[in-house]
Amino acid sequence: MRAHQDPDLLRAFAAEVRARRDAAGLNQEALAFQCGLNRTFMAKLELGQTSPSLTTLFRLAEGLAARPAELIDAVANRLRKERAASRRRAS
């Protein structure tokens, strides 16, 4: 992972993609194929080890039957909740 990437954001993105993929009844390989991505890359996305490019984000949204903005909003909401929970635990 690059030093300038936010690990919390990567984890939130990973969790959202995984949750939506599971809800769609797809395995990583099927979603990767549907999006024109490599399954290994899909695994790295879902582990929070890498971040998607803009092109990949649009491909993922299409593969998950969502608008890109909807996917980003869901990730932002998940990130906010996780950070709030983290602050509560630290207090």
Structure tokens that stand for 36 in this block: 């024109």
Kindly report the pTM of this predicted structure. 0.89
The correct CATH number of 7-90 out of 1.10.10.60, 3.30.465.10, 1.10.260.40, 3.30.70.2740 is 1.10.260.40
Q: What is the pLDDT of residues 15-54, one digit of tens each?
A: 999 999 999 999 999 999 999 999 999 999 999 999 999 9
- Of 48, 42, 59, nearest to 6 by C-alpha is 48
Place of tokens 């979603």: 31
Beta-carbon count within 10 A of 56 CB: 17
Ordered by start, the domain boundaries in the chain are: 7-90
> Rounded mean pLDDT of the chain?
94
| CA triple 78-18-24, angle to 5 deg | 110
Structure tokens that stand for 8 in this block: 């919390």
8 φ, ψ to 5°?
A: -65, -40
